[in-house]
Chains A and B, each alone.
Chain A
Amino acid sequence: MRQLSLNRRAIGIAACVLATIAAGVLVRARLSSAAEGAALVRGNAPGEWRFWGADAWSTRYSPLTQIDASNFANLQVAWQWNASQFGEDEYYRTTPLYANGRLFTVASTRRVAAAIDPGTGKTLWHWGLDEGLRWQKAPRQFAGRGLAYWSDGPNERVIVVTPGYHLASIDAKTGTPDPRFGKNGVVDLMNGLGYPLVPWAVDDSGPLIISDAAPPRKARTGEKWDSVRKIGADGTIGIDPAIGQIANSSPAIVVNDVIIVGNSAVHGYFPIRTHNMPGAIRGFDVHTGRQLWKFNLIPQPGEFGAETWTKGSKVGSDGVGKNDAWAPYSADPELGLVYIPVGMPLMDEYGGHRPGANLFGTSLVALDVKTGKRRWHYQFVHHDIWDYDTPMAPNLLDVTVNGQRRKIVAQTTKQGWVYALDRLTGEPVWPIVETPVLQSEVPGEQTWPTQPIPSRPEPYSQQGLVESDLIDYTPAIKDSALKLAKRCRMGPYFIPASLADGTGASGYRCSWYAPGASGGVNIDGGTAADPETGRIYVGSQSGLSTIQVQKDPCSEFRYSSPHDSCGLIGALPAPAGYVAQSGSARGNGFEGRAAGSQIGGVSILKPKPLGGVTAYDMNSGDKIWWVPNGISTPVATNDALFAGVTLPPQPGRGQAQIITTKTLVIYGTGRSGGPPRPPFHLYAVDKATGKDVGQVQIPAKTTAVPMTFMHQGRQYIVFATGAGANTALVALTLPHGAEGSGGARRR
Chain B
Amino acid sequence: MKPQLLIGVASPLILSVVVSATACAQKARTERTTLAGVYSEPQAARGQDLYAGMCKSCHAAATHTGVAFEKSWNGHPLSELFGFISTRMPKNEPGSLAPEEYIDVLAYLLKLNQMPAGPAELPPDTTVLGAIRIQTHAAAKPPIR
Residues of A within 8 A of B (CB): 88-91, 142, 206-207, 209-210, 267, 269, 387, 516-518, 541, 543, 545, 561, 580, 582-584, 586-587, 589-591, 593-595, 598, 600-601, 633, 635-638, 653-654, 671-672, 675-677, 703, 722-726
14 additional A-B pairs beyond A210-B59, A595-B5, beta carbons within 8 Å, are A90-B53, A91-B53, A142-B57, A583-B72, A583-B73, A584-B84, A586-B72, A594-B95, A595-B87, A598-B5, A601-B4, A601-B6, A636-B2, A675-B98
Contacts of B2 in A (CB 8 A): 601, 633, 635-637
Partner of A90 from the list B57, B80, B86 (CB cut-off 8 Å) is: B57
Which of B22-30, B32-40, B44-52, B110-118 lies at the interface with chain A? B44-52
Assembly CA distance A723 to B52 (angstroms): 5
Cβ–Cβ contact A582 & B72, under 8 A: yes
Among A517, A593, A638: residue with most chain B CB under 10 A: A593
Q: What is the number of contacts between chain A and chain B, taking CB atoms within 8 Å?
A: 130
User: Which positions in B face A, CB cutoff 8 Å?
Assistant: 1-2, 4-6, 8-9, 12, 48-54, 56-60, 62-63, 71-73, 76, 80-81, 83-84, 86-88, 91-101, 145
Query: What are 24 A-B pairs at a CB distance below 8 A?
Result: A88-B52, A206-B145, A207-B60, A269-B58, A516-B93, A545-B95, A583-B73, A590-B83, A595-B5, A595-B6, A601-B6, A633-B2, A637-B1, A637-B2, A638-B4, A654-B96, A672-B96, A676-B99, A676-B100, A703-B53, A722-B53, A723-B53, A723-B54, A724-B53
Question: How many angstroms from the CA of A206 to the CA of B56 in the assembled complex?
Answer: 13
Check if B98 sits within 8 Å of A587, measured CB to CB.
Answer: no
**Looking across the interface, which residue of chain A has its beta carbon closest to that of B79?**
A584
B101 x A676 contact (CB < 8 A)? yes
Write the nearest CB–CB distance from B21 to chain A, whole angstroms: 20
A636 interface neighbour in B1, B52, B71, B95, Cβ under 8 Å = B1
Chain B: CB-nearest residue to A639: B4
Which residue of chain A is the closest to B56 with respect to CB atoms? A90
CB closest chain-B residue, reference A584:
B80
The reply to whether B54 and A91 form a contact with Cβ atoms under 8 Å apart is yes
Q: Which chain A residue shows the least CB distance to B90?
A: A518
In Å, the complex CA distance between A724 and B8 comes to 33
Residues of A within 8 A of B94 (CB): 516, 545, 593-594
Q: Which residues of the other chain, B, contact A543 by a CB distance below 8 angstroms? A: 93, 95-96
Contacting residues, chain B, for A590 (C-beta < 8 A):
83-84, 87-88
**In the complex where A90-B53, A598-B6, A638-B1 touch, is A582 in contact with B59 (Cβ < 8 A)?**
no
* A87 → B minimal CB distance (Å): 12
Kindly state the separation between the CA atoms of A595 and B82 in the bound complex, as whole angstroms.
12
- Distance (whole angstroms) from the CB of A247 to the closest CB of chain B: 12
A269-B91, A672-B96 known; A595 and B54 CB under 8 Å?
no
- Closest chain B residue to A88, Cβ basis: B52
The reply to whether B92 and A518 form a contact with Cβ atoms under 8 Å apart is: yes
Question: Given the known A-B contacts A582-B72, A671-B54, are A724 and B48 also in contact in the complex, defined by CB atoms under 8 Å?
Answer: yes
Q: Which of B80, B88, B97 contacts A587 (CB 8 A)?
A: B88
Q: In chain A, what residue has the closest Cβ to B97?
A: A672
Q: Which 10 A-B pairs have the closest CB atoms?
A: A594-B95, A724-B52, A723-B53, A91-B53, A723-B52, A676-B98, A595-B87, A518-B93, A583-B76, A517-B92
Q: Which residues from chain B contact A595 at a C-beta distance below 8 Å? A: 5-6, 83, 86-87, 95
How distant is the Cα of A654 from the Cα of B91 in the complex, in angstroms?
Answer: 15
Residue numbers in A under 8 Å from B1 (CB-CB)? 636-638
List of B residues within 8 angstroms of A387 by Cβ:
92
**B5: contacting residue among A210, A580, A601, CB under 8 A:** A601
Contact present for B71 and A580 (CB under 8 Å): yes
Q: Which residue of A lies closest to B81 (CB)?
A: A583
Once the chains bind, are B92 and A516 in contact (CB under 8 Å)?
A: yes
With both chains docked as a complex, state the minimum distance between the C-beta of A255 and any C-beta of chain B, in angstroms. Answer: 30
Chain A residues with CB below 8 A from B56, complex form: 90, 723-724
What chain B residues lie within 8 Å of A518 (beta carbons)? 92-93, 96
Q: Which chain B residues border A722 with CB–CB below 8 Å?
A: 49, 53
CB-nearest residue of chain B to A89: B52
In the complex, what distance in Å separates the CA atom of A587 from the CA atom of B145? 28
Contacting residues, chain B, for A545 (C-beta < 8 A) = 93-95
Residue of B nearest to A142 (CB): B57
Q: Across the two chains, which residue of chain A brings its CB closest to B72?
A: A582
Closest approach, in angstroms, between the C-beta of B62 and any C-beta of chain A?
7
Shortest B55–chain A CB gap in Å is: 9
**Cα(A561)–Cα(B101), bound, Å:** 25
Docked CA distance A209–B68 (Å): 14
B60 and A206 within 8 A (CB)? yes
What residues of B have a CB within 8 angstroms of the CB of A677 in the complex?
100
Contacts of A725 in B (CB 8 A): 52
Give the docked Cα–Cα distance between A637 and B1 (Å).
Answer: 7
Q: A91-B52, A545-B94, A591-B8 are in contact. Are A586 and B84 (CB under 8 A)?
A: yes
Bound CA–CA A517/B95 (angstroms): 13
Nearest A residue to B58 via CB reads A210
A89 to B51, CA, bound (A): 11
- How far in angstroms is the closest Cβ of chain A from B92? 4
Partner of A653 from the list B50, B52, B98, B100 (CB cut-off 8 Å) is B98
Closest-CB distance, B110 to chain A (whole angstroms):
16
Nearest opposing residue in chain B for A206, CB measure: B60
> Which of B9, B60, B76, B145 is in CB contact (< 8 Å) with A591?
B9
| A582/B71 contact (C-beta < 8 A), A598-B6, A635-B2, A638-B4 known | yes
